[in-house]
Amino acid sequence: MKTCRCGYSGEGDHPCHAEGYTCGKSAKQRFYNPRPVALSGFQMKLQVEETWACDEHWESFQKQLKKVQENARNIRAQVSEKEEK
């Protein structure tokens, strides 16, 4: 296994990447932000972002992500309304 950007090299539990890698809690590998990048034959290929986060920080991140996505939808709706006028 190659060394992670946080310095983890495979000994013990992988630490959480939150709080500038200072959380220190045991983490799970998490994937987020999937998006299509290619079509190969009949299969769509996706690209995702990867991180390591404890359950507490992952839940917090998911809440923030939902707020950001809702704000983006609202902004797109406002822009569409202005373009229609």
Domain around 28: 18-84
Q: Please indicate, yes or no, if residue 3 is contained in any of the structural domains.
A: no
- Could you tell me the pTM of the whole model? 0.70
For 54-83, the pLDDT digits (tens) are 999 999 999 998 999 999 999 999 998 888
Structural domain contains residue 38: yes
Q: How far is C-alpha 62 from the chain's CA centre? A: 8
Mean pLDDT, all residues of the chain: 89
**Is there a domain that residue 45 lies in?**
yes
Share of the chain above pLDDT 70, in %: 99
Largest separation between any pair of C-alpha atoms in the chain: 61
Please tell me the total count of domains within the chain.
Answer: 1
Helices within 23-54 (DSSP H only): none
Examine residue 26 and state whether it is found in any structural domain, yes or no: yes
Judge whether 61 lies within some domain: yes
The structure tokens listed for 31 are 């994937």
Is 54 contained in some domain?
A: yes
